[in-house]
Structure 1
């Protein structure tokens, strides 16, 4: 359907309900008409700037007097745009443009009717951050935190600084590291009191919002969260400076407020008589103390690593040892960190004694800036720069030197993809006494990227890596390959032969490993041996299973 055809269909459909296209709108097509709402008919404007309907049409009230000058949920104050649809929750039909726009108008009509009737006022709490102020600050306050906090301007990149709110003296290493890396000095922490509010903040009087003076702010605090005004007042009295900040840490978010001292009270004698004078001034001259409100976006551990997991962080608090930071381990290490490994008291330990070379760039998570650096150390540096709150360390050592560390972790991951190393790691771990033995996950690629496989060993009752092929020269128990693996050779002696496969195989093997680690972290490991077919021409499919230990296994059968 051409653009002209789509517009003609919308014209015809909307004409039936009395909407006409605005001929003066040259770039963004607009239609004007009326919708039925709680108080009768209201004039609206419909703007369709995307005929693919990846974005829903924008629908705005035309008459500002229709809303009585008060604030309403689902109605943006500046533009009177109606929030009638979550674009992530519905798919609009681009092949029926007329019907699609008509359906959107009907949804807007329903929302406006509920809003004007007052039925949607309860949604103020859910949308409170929209009405409080623009999201200027980042909050790194832990859940339920209250007490001494601070704000520091952090230089995330050259020419771009953001204010970050965090517990006083406990700014995450990633912030100070980035700040220095981008030319900043030591972080300058500005004191800010964080007050815990055991309620969801909302709007008390939509016709007098937002609060711009202390008198109105204190009235609002008394209405929505009794007792909090006294705490905020005490924090303002205890603070110093002409602008004093308080963070309200509520159930529905963190909200910043700044109170500015009137110029007439910025005198030396006032500072000397503080705090008694401040309390009296707030009570008598509350309308003179201006209030600025700012939204806050969370960047704390629980939010960053729990948001995509419905609030859970299965790997938090766990000590995980990742052996091999090559093509599989590089991606897997980063994925583990993104899912909370190394957070909330846990640690992510990376082991590899190899350096990143030009031959690795085509299928490694690291790039040019890390050339000729040890892979484990470079990956740890990369993770620490990319993600906050991660306790990660890179060890440039041979795994055989690291065996004693395996006693002190919860999970060992072998991502070397090298059978000889995997056998050695397996032999050591299965020899650790049961009460001290960590979980052991192996993940590897078959052939030239034909398939990815993983095995999780959780004790004597489960198969170990050697159980899969008790005889080195014999057939494996979980084979998938259809033919031989092709090798490639480069000039040289040692390490001149390698197995070519695309980076997609590395990413999918890492993803398989992550799935198994997450299930382990949840205590629901399910199938301990898993398979992912990547190239049906080179391998056949195999079901995931909980394979039994082999009585002929030289590693675990005699222990």
Structure 2
């Protein structure tokens, strides 16, 4: 019955689209793919542009595709928002408009009207300023990763390197210290030394005139465009050819609207010592006299420096770059927390992310751990470090198969210590040492799950005027200072078959991820200089847990750790 309803709804939507487009004079066209394809005329009273509209997605997650017929002679100018050889019209920016799936007929007419408005503005020259906004699409070519120091201007290298997986060999702009190059010795030998690259900057967004031939395919075409769009860049690639060795040269332009690279290669007939060595200074002039103009290769630059990778998603917030962080426990919470910390920049810059754990990854862990089958039998800290370094090579991450108490935990070694072990005895031991050695010990962030994942809690300590971990429950057998479990709720534990294995508390992986996220948020707030509420709680099962207000509790008079450390 459900399948029939879906089929009926789909048929009704197709009929509505057919009828609506029919009112505009569009008729069904043959389609090899089975797509609903219609032919008609956009703006029939003025422009009269023959067009096809393809309605591939009746949910309207993807906008209908509107293309100008290939045989139609367009105005003698480049039109904005008209992309590709198939002359597909970009009438809505991706995700800018939510189309109404419950009004399929009205929706396709809305798209046609918007397409007509975009074309009218384009033909009249009213949207030529949009060339700058869309310049990446018009520049075309391949992509090049840009891993350069922030604001770097001057000499660099354009290299090809092999990523760890697959056969892709992307271009990388670097000064020689790129994390893309940090491969195994064999991979480094495969990577070439690169070609000379000059990095320049321009103050104005790059664009082009609608009447220009576009895109430039040869060096003379490029220089003619540069003379108007970026005069300061004219002659830069020729200077690189004159002064730096090799059979090619490249320029990367830093512009307000993106990063743009172009490359030239010395023609094969000129790759002789006479031109590459003896007459090197005259090489550009010799190339200019060749019967065939020197072609150029264009690439769009994509930032891949650590600052961009780990700061982009945080907006104006500081990331964890430059911080020395120690994470104790790489189990069900700690594994996910290690990944989140890394994605927030822990280990970037001059910072480090150190992981410790004494446990081995077993099959019983796979249902709620970051790692999977390839890491079975390995130490969790070392395996997590290996996994994260493979995924995020720029980061300094190290794994230690040891008890965290064996490490030097002073401020000179770490800026923040995070305990995600979930082992209360170990957490209390760390807390005791931290309280006793104030202020030479860095702040500690403790994170744990309550009962069977009924709630996640975390606490940032380090200040004498605020609660330590033991302050939350001064007496081991006594009640917690801030009760979170409802009356009568008991913790369910499961016994392992092997007597040497500890009992475990069942809860789904979603609770582990929630606890990790809670701690990561507090770590980010700490890095930004305002931790806010140092004691935080998230309810994950309201049937078993009570709401606990976030806040900054002070020390408890009965706390044995604070008394001993006073």
User: What is the TM-score normalised by the length of structure 1?
Assistant: 0.92
Separation in 2 of the partners of 1:456 and 1:106? 57
Give a deviation string over 1:140-163, Cα, whole Å, max 9, x none. Answer: 223322333333333325551222
Give a deviation string over 1:392-428, Cα, whole Å, max 9, x none. Answer: 1112221111143554322111101111111111122
Task: Please give the root-mean-square deviation of Cα atoms over the aligned residues, in Å.
Answer: 2.6
- CA change 1:388–1:352 in 2 (3 A) is same
User: 2:327 matched to 1:358?
Assistant: no
Q: What pairs up with 1:153-164 in 2 under 5 angstroms? A: 153-157=160-164, 159-164=166-171
CA-CA distance at 1:501 after TM superposition: 1.6
For the 8 Å contact 2:162–2:191, the answer to whether it is kept is no
CA-CA distance at 1:75 after TM superposition: 1.2
Q: What is the DSSP-based 3-state SS (H/G/I as helix, E as strand, rest coil) of the residue aligned with 1:170?
A: coil
Matched residue, 2:535: 529
For the 8 Å contact 1:414–1:443, the answer to whether it is kept is yes
Matched residue, 1:506: 512
User: 2:266 matched to 1:261?
Assistant: yes
Matched residue, 1:205: 209
Q: What pairs up with 1:100-111 in 2 under 5 angstroms? A: 100-111=107-118
Give a deviation string over 1:343-395, Cα, whole Å, max 9, x none. Answer: 12211111112222222222211122222222111111111000131111112
Give a deviation string over 1:3-41, Cα, whole Å, max 9, x none. Answer: 321121112222333333325677111222333399634
Q: What is the DSSP-based 3-state SS (H/G/I as helix, E as strand, rest coil) of the residue aligned with 2:444?
A: strand
- CA change 1:53–1:232 in 2 (3 A) is same
- CA change 1:299–1:44 in 2 (3 A) is same
Separation in 2 of the partners of 1:233 and 1:49? 48
CA-CA distance at 1:97 after TM superposition: 0.6
- CA change 1:479–1:198 in 2 (3 A) is farther
Give a deviation string over 1:182-224, Cα, whole Å, max 9, x none. Answer: x784422212313121335523334311111111212222222
Separation in 2 of the partners of 1:223 and 1:545? 60
Q: What pairs up with 1:137-536 in 2 under 5 angstroms? A: 137-157=144-164, 159-172=166-179, 175-177=182-184, 180=186, 185-206=189-210, 207-281=212-286, 284=289, 288-310=293-315, 312-434=317-439, 436-482=440-486, 483-536=489-542
User: 2:138 matched to 1:128?
Assistant: no
Q: What is the DSSP-based 3-state SS (H/G/I as helix, E as strand, rest coil) of the residue aligned with 2:163?
A: strand
- CA change 1:166–1:202 in 2 (3 A) is closer
Q: What is the DSSP-based 3-state SS (H/G/I as helix, E as strand, rest coil) of the residue aligned with 2:560?
A: coil
Separation in 1 of the partners of 2:291 and 2:129? 29
Q: What is the DSSP-based 3-state SS (H/G/I as helix, E as strand, rest coil) of the residue aligned with 1:408?
A: coil
For the 8 Å contact 2:446–2:458, the answer to whether it is kept is yes
For the 8 Å contact 1:443–1:509, the answer to whether it is kept is yes
User: What is the TM-score normalised by the length of structure 2?
Assistant: 0.91
Separation in 2 of the partners of 1:70 and 1:263? 35
Unpaired runs of 5+ residues, structure 1, are none
- CA change 1:112–1:302 in 2 (3 A) is farther
- CA change 1:157–1:438 in 2 (3 A) is closer
CA-CA distance at 1:313 after TM superposition: 4.2
Number of residues of Structure 1 aligned to a counterpart in Structure 2? 555
CA-CA distance at 1:554 after TM superposition: 2.1
- CA change 1:389–1:432 in 2 (3 A) is same
Please point out which of 64, 84, 97 is paired with 1:57.
64
CA-CA distance at 1:469 after TM superposition: 0.9
- CA change 1:460–1:106 in 2 (3 A) is farther
For the 8 Å contact 1:321–1:406, the answer to whether it is kept is no
Separation in 2 of the partners of 1:37 and 1:414? 69
